[in-house]
A and B are shown apart, each in its own frame.
Chain A
Amino acid sequence: MKKIIFEQVGNIGMVFLLAVALAQTVSSSTTGNILFGSCWFFFLVWTILFGLLKWLYSKFGKKEGYDFMDGEFSSRDEREKVVSNRAVTFAYKATITLLLVECLVFAGLDIDSSYLKIIGIFFLSGSIIFGFLAYMLSWIFYNLKI
């Protein structure tokens, strides 16, 4: 369970920082002049740190079955594979439902075109974070159930 929480917290942090950095660039850039704000630095630091922690965890957390490349799909045995399969199915359904709801909400919103890109970035990154959260929570649920 620890490996899934570790992986998803890292993933959520990475997507959040990427969204903030993208929003910063979009809001401050003009045509032909792309600006990279300080948030990109935090995103890079987080990515490198998370990658390093993942590598260390895969080296010293082998007993838990954590694999660097498999990430949140790492499994110690066949039961955990079943748990991952069920969690991924749940997360997929939940994320698709959320995206459909977001499409309807987005279509109904009267947004100023200057904010459209930023809101789009947060809608999309929010959906990805929601997917990560749905996977993590359903993994914990199925792990206790099965």
Chain B
Amino acid sequence: MDIINQVKKYRKSYNLTQESLAQAVGVSRRTIISLEKGSYTPSLLLAFQLADFLEVDINELFYLDKELGEKHEKNNF
């Protein structure tokens, strides 16, 4: 199952740049870019740090893409 994130949406709602968000949570800008593209799944710690900084529930910021996940499972079996 894939994890979908709304980091870009919440970052933009705060008018934050990728660089400032990266500095706030102690990662590189490249990591924020990868996160927003969906090519990198963060650790639980980083996910909580992002949710905490963006003042949003972690379940709203990150959630499972069940449809996509089911498609993957069907393809795998």
A145 pairs with B39, CB closer than 8 A: yes
- Per the bound structure, the CA–CA distance linking A69 and B41 in Å amounts to 28
> Is the contact region of chain B dominated by helix, strand, or loop, or is it mixed?
loop
Task: Mark B17-32 against chain A: 1 for CB-CB distance below 8 A, else 0.
Answer: 0000000001110110
Q: Which residues of A contact B (CB under 8 A)?
A: 65, 76-80, 82, 143, 145-146
CB distance from A121 to the nearest CB of B (A): 40
A77 pairs with B27, CB closer than 8 A: yes
A77 pairs with B39, CB closer than 8 A: no
B27 pairs with A146, CB closer than 8 A: no
Q: List 16 A-B contacts (CB under 8 A).
A: A65-B28, A76-B28, A77-B26, A77-B31, A78-B31, A78-B45, A78-B46, A79-B27, A79-B30, A79-B34, A80-B28, A80-B31, A82-B40, A145-B39, A146-B39, A146-B40
